[in-house]
Amino acid sequence: MTSELFRQIRVLDPVAHCDRTADVWVVDGTIVSIADAIPSSDLSPDTQIQDGAGLILGTGLVDLYSHSGEPGFESRETLASLMAAAIAGGFTRLALLPDTDPSVDSPTGVEWLRSRHHLHSQKLGNIPTLYAWGALTLGTKGEQMAELAELSTAGVVGFADGAPIQNGSLLRRILEYEQPLDKPIALWCCDRAITGNGVVRDGVEALRLGLAGSPAIAETAPLATLLEFVAELGTPVHIMRVSTARSVELIRSAKAQGLPITASVTWMHLLLDVLDVQSYNPSLRLDPPLGNPTDRHALIQGVQDGIIDAIAIDHTPHTYEEKTVAFAEAPPGAIGLELALPLLWQTFVATGIWEALTLWRSLSTHPAQCLRQIPATIAPGYPAELTLFDPQIEWQVSPQTLHSLSSNTPWLGQILKGKVLKTGMG
């Protein structure tokens, strides 16, 4: 039997609307008690006591979508390194996009991931729960609909290509066909014909940087079309990678009309904008591209207001060789599982811009609900799916301190404040 008491620790539980200092007693992966003070006489003799002064104990974090290198790109990331990075970042659940090689567009891919997860679970023990997004189209190429019914039976968490579907007729048929399957469907609104070769948000700053700009309408035009499809068909949809101020307005209006939609923004679009690209760091090459300051401010307010339901990590590993090229030529994406919580906490919670529960809700409770899962809660009798976080510890981001195989992040070499001490799966 393992018994652990977190003594006088700050507890964050969005489900219970709880932000309080309390004692939390965990035995064999189950929460036994949470109270203002638990007498030592109530504890078993072998209980380990953790002094909670200055620490945060929150529900386990949930990532809506990220990329695995394995299978096909193991030099970028293996499943083992990916799960180690997730645990180091406080994530207890991780939903993986299907754009591996081969892609997860058939039950075989789902079974492979399940078997590999089971194997790692036997070897490593404390690892996050992995979920597979099933591909909407064969090979995630956006040309032919995958066998969604077979994928649903195989146990995918939902459907998402992770790439924008350019064929409107195909998208409409997918929304019709998917409806009776009753699984989450996540879509990225992006018109590649309008984006062209844009690598930052179109505007004055893009001109000053000498980089091709991607206009906001490349996102908002397909978003408006998608919202019309949802209004017509009634199929619930999750909107991925929201990155423009106008998109926030459209989603706000659609929610006010009662459309069955949820939305997410990636963590880096909340922290950075096109002004940060002046360093030409290839790790700032993202897709969708970093927006203008007005976009970033609208996204921050959208999370605050609940218009943007969740913050996704969209962890995208690339090797040193892949990213060590000119900014416009770099493959888009950056890692983030180990960096998101400390950077978001220091930027928004430590400064008072957001309440702590606003951040935790966006990283834990709401992502679980977007996946139609029961979110974790800190209450007696429930599994101890927990994240122990110290917002004061300082550490340097380096290939040696990161668990991910890749280190494509603009924070490489910098000192961060805040670190996850322990992630418990219950």
Is 19 a member of any domain?
Answer: no
**pLDDT tens figures, 114-136:** 999 888 887 777 889 999 999 99
- Residue 263 is part of a domain; what is its CATH number? 3.20.20.140
Is 10 a member of any domain?
Answer: no
| Mean pLDDT of all residues in 323-332 | 97
Write 152-157 long-range contacts (CB < 8 A, 24+): 152/181, 152/183, 153/107, 154/107, 154/110, 154/111, 155/110, 155/114, 156/104, 156/110, 156/131, 156/132, 156/183, 157/95, 157/131, 157/132, 157/133, 157/183, 157/184, 157/371
Is 36 a member of any domain?
Answer: no
Distance CA 110, CA 98 (A): 9
Is 286 a member of any domain?
Answer: yes
How many DSSP H helices and E strands does the chain contain?
A: 14, 17
pLDDT value at residue 125:
74
pLDDT value at residue 319:
98
| Mean pLDDT of all residues in 29-51 | 93
Distance CA 380, CA 13 (A): 13
pLDDT value at residue 1:
77
Distance CA 24, CA 13 (A): 12
3-state helix, strand, coil in the chain (%, to 5): 35, 25, 40
The domain tally of the chain equals: 1
| Mean pLDDT of all residues in 40-45 | 88
Asked if 140 and 186 touch (Cβ cutoff 8 Å), the reply is no
**pLDDT tens figures, 153-193:** 999 999 999 999 999 999 999 999 999 999 999 999 999 99
pTM across the whole model: 0.97
Residue with more model confidence, 425 or 345: 345
Is 351 a member of any domain?
Answer: yes
200, pLDDT greater than 80: yes
Is 298 a member of any domain?
Answer: yes
pLDDT value at residue 6:
97
Residue with more model confidence, 421 or 45: 421
Is 112 a member of any domain?
Answer: yes
Percent of the chain at pLDDT above 90? 95
**pLDDT tens figures, 265-275:** 999 999 999 99
Is 156 a member of any domain?
Answer: yes
pLDDT value at residue 118:
87
**Residue 202 is a catalytic residue:** no
pLDDT value at residue 22:
98
| Mean pLDDT of all residues in 46-64 | 97
What is the CB neighbour count within 10 angstroms for residue 54?
Answer: 11
Q: What sign does the CA torsion over 249, 311, 415, 327 have?
A: negative
| Mean pLDDT of all residues in 130-158 | 97
| Mean pLDDT of all residues in 294-318 | 98
Active-site annotation holder among 63, 191, 287, 314: 314
Note down the domain range covering 234.
59-379+398-409
What stretches of 61-185 adopt beta strand conformation (E)?
Answer: 61-66, 91-96, 129-134, 158-159
| Mean pLDDT of all residues in 298-315 | 98
pLDDT value at residue 271:
98
